[in-house]
Amino acid sequence: MTNASANADFVNLFIAEMASVAERAVECWLAQVEQALTDPRLTTLEKLNAVREIVSQYKILTGKTGLQGRTYWDG
């Protein structure tokens, strides 16, 4: 195996691992949101507050003060 192909293999492995980690993190956040929204013990207002708390925790853990809005385009 050449040095270039070994480097390419490493980069591909690294990218795949980073994508996997990101996917697991997103799934974790969404599972928390889903759990809050489907908890039959919570009122609608409590569900909303639970989701707000999840978003707040996300911002604290990531150091973000705001979230970027989605950009929509015609396609």
For the stretch 13-67, pLDDT in tens is: 999 999 999 999 999 999 999 999 999 999 999 999 999 999 999 999 889 888 8
H or E segment at 26?
A: helix 3-38
Q: Which of 55, 5, 9, 66 is nearest to 32 (CA)?
A: 55
> What pLDDT was estimated at residue 72?
67
Predicted TM-score (pTM) of this structure = 0.71
Which residue in this structure is represented by tokens 């949101």? 33
For residue 73, pLDDT beyond 70? no
